[in-house]
Amino acid sequence: MRKIEHIGIAVQNLEQSNELFAKLLGKAHFKTEIVDGEAVETSFFQVGETKVELLQATRPDSPIAKYLDKRPEGVHHIAFDVEDIGMEVSRLKEAGFEILNEVPKLGADNKLVVFLHPRSTNGVLVELCQEQ
């Protein structure tokens, strides 16, 4: 793991949260992006070498919608930047972590992504990101 790539925050209203985080961080988001595969619309704020990713569900079947059905808005996941996502998946599987998607899928901001089940990571949903 090279660095924290982003902190993912689940929000109900992306526009409102964009305004709030722009005030909080003192700068506007640098991009918004819809990831159909995850049924999310995201916006990204650069904070030093890491990012804040705000996520709003675009469909009721989105993992974000299901999360917010049961929990308030807040930190949803931590994403780590990795050099070789295939190698990391093998290493983590060997180490006993539960990989949710062994085949990397298309994420936001030009990344390939893999998720680990929170029950294998002390209750934190972990995302691995490799620059495409």
Tell me which residues touch ligand LZKTLF4L (CB under 6 A): 8, 35, 38, 40, 42, 53, 55, 63-64, 66-67, 70, 76-77, 79, 100, 107-108, 111, 113, 115, 117-118, 123, 125, 127
Which one of the spans 9-17, 43-51, 80-88, 121-129 is the region binding Co ion (CB under 5 A)?
A: 121-129
φ, ψ of residue 86 to 5 degrees: the values are: -65, -45
Considering CB under 5 A, how many residues would be counted as binding Co ion? 4
8 belongs to the binding site for Co ion (CB under 5 A): yes
In the β-sheet with 111-116, what is the strand arrangement from edge to edge? 31-35, 40-47, 50-57, 3-10, 74-81, 126-131, 111-116, 105-106
